[in-house]
Structure 1
Amino acid sequence: MDRRPRDARLRQVGTSRAGLPLRLLSVGHGSRQVLVVAGPHANEPVGGATVLRLAERVLADPRLCDGADVTWNLLLCLDPDGSRRNEGWLSGPYTLGHHFRHFFRPGFMEQPEWLPDGAEGATLPETRTLLALQDELRPFFQCSLHGVDVGGGFVELTRDLPGLAPRLAHIATRLDIPLELGPYDTLYWPTLGPAVYRIPPPRRGDLAAAITEAAVESTWFHPHPYGTVTAVVEAPMWGVTAVQDASAPVDAEETLRGVSRTLRRDTALLEELLARIRPYLGTAGDVDRLLAPVDDYVLVCPGLADSWDPDTGPGTDADGGARPLPPLTTARLTALRISARRIALRTAGLLHQLVTASGHDPSGATADLDRLIDAWCADYHDGHGARWIPVARQAEYQARVVLAAFDLARRRGPASGRGARPLGTPPVRTEVPFE
């Protein structure tokens, strides 16, 4: 920015709940707008490195901005308050145990991308800032940068971008990033291609469905009337090869029963530990913020276990209708096993922080939590072969996927809204590198 003050401008666009600035870096002077949002989930930090990498790429290649009549708007971090709570693991060592003992992700109602009460009912200042940016810019392309703690990469779209799947596969192969062919997040969503999924329009449902499926209205869809294509780009921290195995499993039903039994058992252990810990926690603000996601996780676990168990029947949709699981591959079963373990590990890590923050442990819960965290992390290592992916490679993968999606989005044709290319104007046909 210091080297190119005319081409790169930084401005404060809002303030977090704790008073931290929300900053937007804009690169280029084109009439068509791109919006990239980093840090929407506090525990997924890779987007911060990705947006800086994108800024460097755009400044270095005129075909990506002024040559395509595009301005890139990079929101450096949507939830800086939550991100600061993850600083305990960000500097390493990059082990699963260290990560989950210092993990933080706010409760569902404090996650700024979600609009459970609609845009008009948004109360978080971070959410209101993002909504105002979307209404100001009316971007033809929007990216939300996310991270997968254990698993593989994938992309979710509000509109189809034909050709993205082969580009995604090429990028992932070049960088040795596994792609998820059946992530839990997209279990009931349409597949547009390998590791590319269509986000269904928001619908009203109960809180449990919203927490586990992002089923409520969100900032992903808020700019939809402007013709915006939103891409949610997920980059893994620890990769698991089996999430890209499309083969038929040997005994899917027995595996599902085992996953459900394990989740019920783990939930019971965590509920017992929570009951032991809660009387000693007090009511300080930090306690409330750590307890909110714990209560969310404990709330959804029984329903998840039942919806996956072949003996308790299929899951239900928001209207109460039966919703069976999609055809199960090794990749999908692996994703379900990882998800069940993830929700237990996150809960255990937050409980560990609650005990540590209280300054005393009269119930003796710390040793039990350490034992569970170590055993469950070992399952990721030994049972799934989880391997750390260096941060530079995570960010490079995510940046290349964003550029590939951008290249396809700008070729889609006209979008409605201010800043869109006028109807009848031929699209720019410069070749944009997507690697």
Structure 2
Amino acid sequence: MTDTGRRVRSAAASHRPDRYPTVAQAVAAARRLGERFPGRCRLREVGSSRAGRPLVLLSVDEGERTVLVVGGPHPNEPVGVASAVRLAERVLELPPRPGVAWHVLFCLDPDGAALNDGWLAGPLSAARHYEHFFRPAFDEQPELLPPGDGGGPPLPESLVLTGLIDELRPVLQCSLHGVDFGGAFVQLTRPVPALAERFARSVARGGIPLDIDSYDAVGWDSPAPGTYVMPAPGAGSQVLPDRPELSTWSYAGRHGGVTAVLEVPMWAVDAVRDARPHPEVRAAVGAAAATLGSRVEALAALLPLAPAHAGAAYGPLLRAVDFNLRVCPLLVEELRTGWCAAPLSVSRVTTAQIVAERLPLRIASMLLRLLSDTGGPAVEAARARAGAIVAAGLAGLDRLGARWVPVEAQVAHQARAVLAAADCVLG
């Protein structure tokens, strides 16, 4: 590493390499970078969250061609905040690229991140992760925009991001995501030549499996393993209500920019890279559908015991539980009718198994948080039932071979992938 690189790391370091930073730690690191390199860095608050938390942007260098990096779009994916810090460090280690400016938004959803913060101090076990788990309902995720036909106004965080896109007109937008279980993959709003090869090399370097048949991209074009291109409006085949065309990813396209959504797992499941035909699709997918259906049915029976007056702190949890309970039966039907009779890869069947274990695990974990402040025999029984579903989900994921990916490996890959995407787009 150069002397400049050592100074950057010394100035920015705010957390141990085996930990994710909190949003406050990430912003503090950014402030130190700005103070250390005032000639190259500018730090500003570009808006506020629904609860009034600041959204902080670090800009590095000047130029007409801009790269916008969005950290923390999903609060249960802390790698994005960590990678945003690492990327700012890496850009400052390199000489300025003529005519190119970098803009790093450290966390798009700081309110959601605050509901997950309890896990970040460690230990970073799966059981403890789900004790502090929160992921908002779709209409409360800032990267997803409401339809123009009466879908309600955009979230304040969404307006901040679309405003930045309009201001900066990025040639490349990178959204830093993570998956709890599975493999790494990249989703693009349009093809980016040469990125797939560099992405795959980075994944291999980090000892992370490449997800070659991702559930998140069912029905999408895949020009190379682990690389997916978002479909035209209405062309996707998922039952989930996310529409890529109604997102801040696609919004960048109005200025000619391309978006790369970069996913990296916390716990790797190596079978997601297996392209061989699965020998028992009907049995395996049918069992996954049955698991998902029975656990969700049990959790739906517990929801009436959650306090309806959850308030500002737990209202998002209650809405997220309700949303997932409404969506899951559609997923069960999709697995039973659309997947069981089809020839599928080991990778695709494994993603179905992950979904079947993960979704009830998420719902049960958030429900346990909602039930934590109430009592009585019925609530105690509900907590025991939800706790058993959490334990069953964790055991099921263990059986799929889930293994922890060190934070450093996650962050290093994601930062490399952003730099590779920039190289491919900027030339």
Question: TM-score surpassing 0.5?
Answer: yes
Deviations 1:158-180 (A, max 9, x none): 01012222211211111101111
Letter in 2 for 1:291: L
Cα distance in 1, alignment partners of residues 245 and 197 from structure 2: 30
- Large movers: runs of 4+ above 6 Å: none
| Residue 58 of structure 2: aligned partner | 25
Contact 2:218–2:236, Cα closer than 8 Å, also in 1: no
Deviations 1:72-121 (A, max 9, x none): 00001000000010011112211111111210011211110111224995
Cα distance in 2, alignment partners of residues 360 and 160 from structure 1: 56
Cα distance in 1, alignment partners of residues 177 and 407 from structure 2: 13
Aligned pair partner of 1:300 in 327, 335, 340 = 327
The 1:68/1:178 distance shift into structure 2, 3 A limit, reads farther
Matched, 1:193 2:217: no
Cα distance in 2, alignment partners of residues 300 and 179 from structure 1: 27
Matched, 1:223 2:252: yes
Shift of 1:358: 3.5
Contact 1:114–1:216, Cα closer than 8 Å, also in 2: no
The 1:377/1:261 distance shift into structure 2, 3 A limit, reads same
Letter in 2 for 1:300: V
The 1:5/1:357 distance shift into structure 2, 3 A limit, reads farther
Query: In terms of mean alpha carbon deviation, does 179-188 or 345-354 score higher?
Result: 179-188
The 1:287/1:134 distance shift into structure 2, 3 A limit, reads same
Give RMSD over aligned pairs.
2.2
| Amino-acid identity (%) | 44
| Residue 378 of structure 1: aligned partner | 395
TM-score, scaled to structure 2: 0.87
| Residue 364 of structure 2: aligned partner | 348
SS of the residue corresponding to residue 264 of structure 2 reads strand
| Residue 73 of structure 1: aligned partner | 103
Shift of 1:332: 0.6
Deviations 1:311-346 (A, max 9, x none): xx338xxxxxxxx99751000100111012111111
| Residue 314 of structure 1: aligned partner | 338
Shift of 1:210: 4.5
Contact 1:43–1:103, Cα closer than 8 Å, also in 2: yes
| Residue 17 of structure 2: aligned partner | none
Aligned pair partner of 1:395 in 411, 415, 419 = 411
Equivalent runs, 1:106-145 vs 2, <5 Å: 106-118=136-148, 122-145=153-176
Letter in 2 for 1:99: H
The 1:370/1:405 distance shift into structure 2, 3 A limit, reads same
Deviations 1:15-73 (A, max 9, x none): 111111101000111221110000111111111111111111111111xxx32421000
Contact 2:281–2:344, Cα closer than 8 Å, also in 1: yes
The 1:282/1:226 distance shift into structure 2, 3 A limit, reads closer
Cα distance in 2, alignment partners of residues 78 and 361 from structure 1: 40
SS of the residue corresponding to residue 251 of structure 2 reads coil
Matched, 1:58 2:91: yes
SS of the residue corresponding to residue 275 of structure 2 reads coil
Deviations 1:374-400 (A, max 9, x none): 12101111x111111111111101000
TM-score, scaled to structure 1: 0.85
The 1:159/1:117 distance shift into structure 2, 3 A limit, reads same
Deviations 1:167-211 (A, max 9, x none): 1121111110111111111011111211000011344999x9453
Gaps of 5+ in 1: 316-323, 412-435
Aligned pair partner of 1:147 in 168, 178, 187 = 178
Cα distance in 1, alignment partners of residues 211 and 377 from structure 2: 40
Contact 1:281–1:287, Cα closer than 8 Å, also in 2: no
The 1:325/1:101 distance shift into structure 2, 3 A limit, reads farther
Contact 1:188–1:325, Cα closer than 8 Å, also in 2: no
| Residue 28 of structure 2: aligned partner | none
Contact 1:201–1:221, Cα closer than 8 Å, also in 2: no
The 1:344/1:7 distance shift into structure 2, 3 A limit, reads same
| Residue 48 of structure 2: aligned partner | 15
SS of the residue corresponding to residue 179 of structure 2 reads strand
Contact 2:282–2:341, Cα closer than 8 Å, also in 1: no
The 1:327/1:10 distance shift into structure 2, 3 A limit, reads farther
Higher relative contact order (CA 8 A, sep 6+): 1
SS of the residue corresponding to residue 232 of structure 2 reads coil
Cα distance in 1, alignment partners of residues 341 and 217 from structure 2: 11
SS of the residue corresponding to residue 250 of structure 2 reads coil
| Residue 90 of structure 1: aligned partner | 120
Aligned length: 392
Cα distance in 2, alignment partners of residues 74 and 360 from structure 1: 48
Letter in 1 for 2:134: F
SS of the residue corresponding to residue 161 of structure 1 reads coil
Cα distance in 2, alignment partners of residues 205 and 358 from structure 1: 42
Cα distance in 2, alignment partners of residues 16 and 115 from structure 1: 15
| Residue 16 of structure 2: aligned partner | none
Aligned pair partner of 1:34 in 64, 67, 76 = 67
SS of the residue corresponding to residue 170 of structure 2 reads coil
| Residue 43 of structure 1: aligned partner | 76
Matched, 1:169 2:192: no
Shift of 1:131: 0.6
Contact 2:220–2:236, Cα closer than 8 Å, also in 1: no
Aligned pair partner of 2:213 in 176, 182, 186 = 182
The 1:210/1:301 distance shift into structure 2, 3 A limit, reads closer
Contact 2:189–2:230, Cα closer than 8 Å, also in 1: yes
SS of the residue corresponding to residue 315 of structure 2 reads helix
Cα distance in 2, alignment partners of residues 77 and 287 from structure 1: 21
Equivalent runs, 1:400-415 vs 2, <5 Å: 400-411=416-427
| Residue 430 of structure 1: aligned partner | none
Letter in 2 for 1:345: L
Contact 2:360–2:389, Cα closer than 8 Å, also in 1: no
Cα distance in 2, alignment partners of residues 286 and 85 from structure 1: 8
Equivalent runs, 1:259-298 vs 2, <5 Å: 259-275=288-304, 277-278=305-306, 280-298=307-325
